[in-house]
Amino acid sequence: MSPRIPSRVGVGLLALFAVLVAGGCGRSITSTPGEAPNLEKWVAEVRARPAPPLEQIPLMQQFESFEYAAQGMRDPFSTAFTNTNEGSGPRPNAQRRKQQLEQFPLDSLDMVGTLGLGSRVVGLVMAPDKVTYRIVPGEYMGQSDGRVTAVYEDRIELVELVPDGAGGWLERPATVALEDK
C-alpha cells in the first residue's frame, strides 16, 4: 500500500481552521481603547483622587544639659577605697597558728556534750570528720576566726571576725548549741 496523499479540499479546510483559531485568539489578547470603558474610567478616578495626608513629623524632645560638678569627690564606681579606720578595730592575727577546728565551717560543727563542773567546763565538739574535739575558752573554731569566749553545759559562745566590706573587720557573736537527741 502506498501512503495516502491528502486532497486539496482537506488541506484547504485545515488552513481555514488554523486561520479562524488564530484570529479568535488574537481578538482576546489585543483590545482597542473603546472595548474597556469601565476600566479606563476607574483608572482615571483613582488618579484624580487627592493623595492621603502624610503623618506629621514628631517634635524632637529638648533635653536639659547637666553640668557635672563633683570632680573632687570620690568616684562611686572606683574599686579603690581608702579606709581611714585601717589601724583601729579588731583584726585577725595572721601570725597565729590555725587550730584543728578552724578548718571546718561553724555550721558543720556540733556540740555533743561537756566535761567538768562549774567554771572549768570543757566543751565536746564533733566535726564533720566524725572526731570529737575538746574546746575551752580562748581557743578558736570555725572558718571566720571564731574565738571561744565561754563554754556552758548547753552551748558554746564565741566571737567571729567578719569583713565589713570597707577594708575593716567586725566582731559578730555566734553560738554552737547542744542538740537534744
Instruction: Give tens-digit pLDDT for 21-68.
Output: 776 665 444 455 556 778 888 999 999 999 888 888 888 888 888 887
**Mean pLDDT for the chain overall:** 82
155-178 pLDDT, tens digit each: 999 999 988 888 888 899 999 998
Residue of higher predicted confidence among 98 and 78 = 98
Which of 117, 123, 98 has its CA nearest to residue 176? 123
Which of 169, 173, 145 has its CA nearest to residue 159? 173
Q: What is the pLDDT of residue 9?
A: 78
Cell of 125: 565538739
Percent share of the chain, pLDDT over 90: 35
In this prediction, residues 13-28 reach a mean pLDDT of 70
Q: What is the pLDDT of residue 29?
A: 46
Q: What is the pLDDT of residue 90?
A: 82
Q: What is the pLDDT of residue 27?
A: 46
Q: What is the pLDDT of residue 137?
A: 92
In this prediction, residues 101-117 reach a mean pLDDT of 90
